[in-house]
Amino acid sequence: MRESSGPEHARLVEAVKLYVTAQFGRPVLAPELAAVLAITAYWPLVGLDGKERLLRSLVSRELYELRLQSGQWREALPVSWLDLVSADGFERERALQSLSGPAPDAFWLTVMMRRLNDWVPEVRAACQAKLREVALASDPQAVVAALVVTFSHWLSWRQLDEDSRAAALQLLDSAAVLKAFVDRLHRSGAGPNAHCLAQANGAGALDPHLKQLASEAVQPAVRATACRWLMDGEASWVLKSRWVWTDKNQSQGRWNREMARRPLQHPIGTVDAMRIALNDPSPLVRRAVADRLIRALEHSTEPLTELAHRLATDPEPSIAERGRFALSRCAILKAPQEPPFESACDVSSPGKPTP
C-alpha cells in the first residue's frame, strides 16, 4: 500500500481535513479523530518515517489553510495522538504528558516508542515516564508488535540512551506482555525474531523460557540463539554499533559492534544443551554445537566423546568435518604424554663437567 497516492490517500486527506476543521478552536476532542485512526490502524509497521512525514504534512497544511481563512493564527487543536508526529517539540512533549489510557492500535504505540529516539531530551524524558502506563493499558499483542519494531531498529538510533532502553525493556516485566512476546518467538516463522530475542533478554526476563525456545521455536535462528546461550551459560547481544574510519582519504570504514554479556539466571549445563541442539533438524543449530564442542574439549573430554561421534556422522558435510576434528582432538588429549626425548649425547657423566 502506498500512502502517497490512490483511494487510501484520498480518504486519509479527507479524514484529516474533517478532523482539523472540527477541532479548530475546541478544547476537547470530537469523534472526527476516530476516522483518522481507523485508517492508520491498517497501516503495516514498515516505512514509519514516511508515514510520520505524511501525517505531519497533512495536518500542517490543513491547519495553515484554516488559519489563513479565519485569521486566527493562535488557535490550536486539542492534544491528541496526532501530536506525536508534530514538528514542534513542545507539542510532542505536551502530547506525551497528556496521553492516558490504551493506545488506539499497534501503529500509534510504535510511534510513541519511536519518541525514545527523539532529538529533544525533554520529549525522550516524557516518553520514558509515560510509556509503561500507556503500554500496560493497551492490548498485549499491540505492545509486542511495537516492541519487535523497536528492537529491530534501535541499534541505528543515535539518540537512544540507557534510560530509554530500560523503559522499553521494563514492558516485559508484565506477565501478559511477556507471554505474548514468548508466543511470538515460538510461532513466528519469519522476521528478525532472533535479533529481537537477543535485544529483549538484556534484563533476563526470557531466561526461564530459553530451554523451551531452544527445542520448540519455529524459526531455526531463534533455536540456534537459545541453544548457543545455554551452551555458553551466558547471554550475549550487541549493545551498540559505532562507525570507525579506516581510511578517511578513501572514505572507507567499518561498523564496530560493542557486545554485552551476562550469566544466565537458569543455566542447564553445557552437555545437556548440546544434546538438545544435536537433535535439532536444522544444520544451523547443529553447527553451533560443533563450534562449542571443540572449545569445550579444552576442559573435559569424557562426556563429549559421544557427542563428537554423533557429529562425525552428521549428514551435513561441514558439521561432520567438525565432528571428525573433535574426535581427533579427543584422541590427542586422551593419549598418554611421553617424556621428552633425550639423546645419549645430552647425558653428562657424573663427576665430569660438560664441555
Sequence-ordered list of residues with C-beta below 8 angstroms from that of 327, at least 6 positions apart, any chain? 305, 308, 309, 312
Whole-number CA gyration radius for the chain: 29
The rounded distance, in Å, linking the Cα atoms of 237 and 260 is 6
281, 287, 291, 296: CA torsion to nearest 10: 10
Burial class (CB in 10 A: 0-12, 13-18, 19+), 210: buried
pLDDT tens, per residue, the chain with 355 residues: 444 557 778 888 888 888 887 776 665 566 778 888 889 999 999 999 999 999 999 988 888 887 777 766 556 667 889 999 999 999 999 999 988 889 999 999 999 999 999 999 999 999 999 999 999 999 999 999 999 999 999 988 989 999 999 999 999 999 999 999 999 999 988 889 999 999 998 878 899 999 999 999 999 999 999 999 999 889 998 888 888 898 888 889 998 888 889 999 888 888 888 889 888 999 999 988 888 887 877 666 567 788 888 888 888 888 888 888 888 877 665 555 555 545 545 545 455 444 4
Exposure of 158 in the CB half-sphere (CA atoms within 13 A): 3
Residue closest to 326 by CA, chosen among 345, 306, 344:
306
Contact 305, 326 (CB under 8 A): no
| Distance in Å from the first CA to the final CA of the chain | 92
Length of the chain: 355
Output the pTM of the full model.
0.85
The 8-class DSSP code of residue 235 comes to E
The rounded distance, in Å, linking the Cα atoms of 76 and 59 is 12
